Structure 1
């Protein structure tokens, strides 16, 4: 008869995996809290810069929609100046970085820890953009072409003296008048010759 052997003991389920998953969740939550804190800190610093730009906003026309000056959220908050230029915070979270997105990549225009310095650089940028926009409009408004065309036209009206009086008579009228005076002159001349001949007795007796 076979000897009864004891059954091997089944180990109790390990809680190491559950503990690891729980620890990973806690770490992820902490990292998320840190990211949120960093994001809020960046947003607060950009709001300080936005307050520095209030005098510039007051000087711009109310109907000028070329510039944004809008604060966006997302993983990295940005203070947008226009469609391409914006301000972000550098990795040290204390330095303002004024950048412009171009087709060739991101171009850094200025960096500083003082918001007043970045506000001055933004003011210079806005002024240059306004001048560039006016030059672009000047190429298409046609004012220069119209002035040049007027300069090429002869100024006959300005050169001719102003005539005051009745309108000029047609040339046919002048011809009729001249012909009439010529006939009158011939008649007067013939009459004078006839009178002179009669006085001298040169006319034959009747």
Structure 2
């Protein structure tokens, strides 16, 4: 128990020392106009915000390459959330500015002097990006389309059952689900009528021919 207490006290002391160093950098920058001190103060403030966001970064998958949570240096220090969004300090060096780069230009998502307020907005942004990515995966894999389209489900035959139109009994056999045409009986009646008319006309022609031949003989 004594060793554990010493470890906890040591960690807390290290955390308090780091916070004290950041506070000293910020105080020194406020008393000086040196560019280096101002950059150090900006970086110190962003480190405070990074500490607020540490629990969020730890909950993400270590292999997830969508988010960065990386602090970059240079003339302007930035805390990168992902490839398009980052937090920077405003011109007053006290206001956190959470921005995102888009095709239409830079969009400011939130501005605040409180790191906790900015951290809450960043957490909401991360959650929205995760939901957007999951929806994009659901659309591209095609599973949701097959599962959500009732018409597609009706056209898909069950496994092991062939569609009725594909069942044939021979190379020249008709498809089993074809319905006989309703006009077949009508065509038969019309053909029979024309046959009777032909018989009557033929008999009349033979009778006329026989009468004419009898007159000539007489």
TM-score normalised over the length of structure 1: 0.57
User: How many angstroms apart in 1 are the aligned matches of 2:87 and 2:154?
Assistant: 48
Pairing 1:12-91 to 2, within 5 Å after superposition: 34-91=34-91
Deviations 1:79-138 (A, max 9, x none): 000011000001111110000111211100001111000000000000001111111111
Gap runs ≥5 in structure 1 = 1-32, 159-206
**C-alpha distance in 2 between matches for 1:156 and 1:36:** 72
Superposition RMSD on alpha carbons, in Å? 2.0
Identify if the C-alpha distance between structure 1 residues 151 and 115 changes in structure 2 by more than 3 Å, giving closer, same or farther. farther
Q: Which runs of 4+ in 1 moved over 2 A?
A: 144-152, 154-158
Structure 2 residue 140 is matched with structure 1 residue 140: yes
- Deviation of 1:157 after TM superposition, in Å, equals 6.0
Q: What is the correspondence of 1:88-127 to structure 2 with a 5 Å cutoff?
A: 88-127=88-127
Q: Which structure is richer in relative contact order (CA contacts within 8 A, separation 6 or more)?
A: 1
Distance 1:156 1:71 in 2: 55
Compute the TM-score of the two structures, normalised by the length of structure 2: 0.54
Query: Residues 151 and 35 from structure 1, CA distance in 2 versus in 1: closer, same or farther, beyond 3 angstroms?
Result: farther
Secondary structure, counterpart of 2:106 in structure 1: strand
Cα displacement string for residues 40-95 of structure 1 (whole angstroms, at most 9, x for unaligned residues): 10000000000000110111112111001110111110000001100000111111
Greater Cα radius of gyration, structure 1 or 2: 1
Query: 1:157-193: per-residue Cα shift (whole Å, max 9, x none)?
Result: 69xxxxxxxxxxxxxxxxxxxxxxxxxxxxxxxxxxx
Query: Which of 153, 161, 164 does residue 156 from structure 2 map onto?
Result: 153
Structure 2 residue ranges without an equivalent (≥5): 1-32, 162-218
Q: Offset at 1:151?
A: 4.7
- The size of the alignment, in residue pairs, is 127
